[in-house]
Amino acid sequence: MRIGFAVPVAGSWATPANMVRVAQRAEALGYHEVWTFQRLLYPRGHSMGAPYRSVHDPMVTLAYLAGVTSRVRLGVAVLNMPFFSPPLLAKQLSSLQAVSGGRLDAGLGLGWLPEEFAASGVSFERRGRRGEEFLHVLRRLWSEEVVEHKGEFYELPPVHQDPKPAPPPPILLGGSAEVALRRAGRLADGWISSSREDLDRIGEKISVVKEAARAAGRDPEALRFVTRGVTRVRPSGAAGRAPMTGSFEEIRQDVAMLEAGGVTDVFHDLNFDPEVGSPDADPEESMRRAEAALEALVP
């Protein structure tokens, strides 16, 4: 199993200096990946939680970290396709793949917050069909000399887009509904679980993705299964403890449980701990806790 760590992107601890500290320390300790996530807007009065209130752009963050690291892979889980055009995102991901030296893992999703769709001028309806067409156009832009496309959602006149990414970054799809899981199995290089995933039952989701891959004539064992480990360090022995919440030893046991369930990659994400990733959290204490976790959970 490959182990990663999320850099500070949410809340008061998400400063440029702290992003660099976490990414460079993760690289030095042998973590395989560092990760970010996207939150475009926070609707007034919404109940989604403090960690979503103040979030940096993931693409800019990864481009910044590409210049101060050399080995660790750089991931985003996930970019919501409807908020981009296919040529724009194809260009941005291609450039990020180039400046990082081929270290990018591109997680893509459909989005779920209606207010973000409204602000982006995109319909919330039929977003699954939109996402499939988006992915088709993006991959053509990365592989074909001239691309011409006229579909339900997107239209391109005959165009070039260069330079091509070499190699193209892996595309990992998010989503928890069965249709999204099957889409990942049919079309993607792997699947990424959400921050709200029931990790006790993640093996069931992985089985659906693999079944869809087999039905599409693909090798299910070649896929990656990436889990965002919403990691909350707490005293051990709590009754009804959720996976990835507890002592460092308990969290390590949870990682082993995920591996047994078919997960290929897990990354520890402290951004979703309100004691760390909130705008009101003490940033120095958040960093102290993150650095302790980096050392204790090292691969």
> What percent of the chain is predicted at pLDDT more than 90?
100
Confidence (pLDDT) at 106: 98
How do strand 232-233 and strand 224-230 relate by DSSP bridges? unpaired
Distance CA 96, CA 101 (A): 8
What's the rounded mean pLDDT across residues 88-96? Answer: 98
Confidence (pLDDT) at 242: 95
Confidence (pLDDT) at 234: 97
State pTM to two decimals. Answer: 0.96
Confidence (pLDDT) at 12: 98
Where does the pLDDT of residue 17 fall: very low under 50, low under 70, confident under 90, or very high at 90 and above? very high
Where does the pLDDT of residue 188 fall: very low under 50, low under 70, confident under 90, or very high at 90 and above? very high
The beta strands (E) that lie in the chain are given as 2-6, 33-36, 73-80, 104-109, 147-150, 155-159, 171-173, 190-192, 224-230, 232-233, 245-246, 265-269
Q: Are 270 and 7 in contact (CB under 8 A)?
A: no
Confidence (pLDDT) at 85: 98
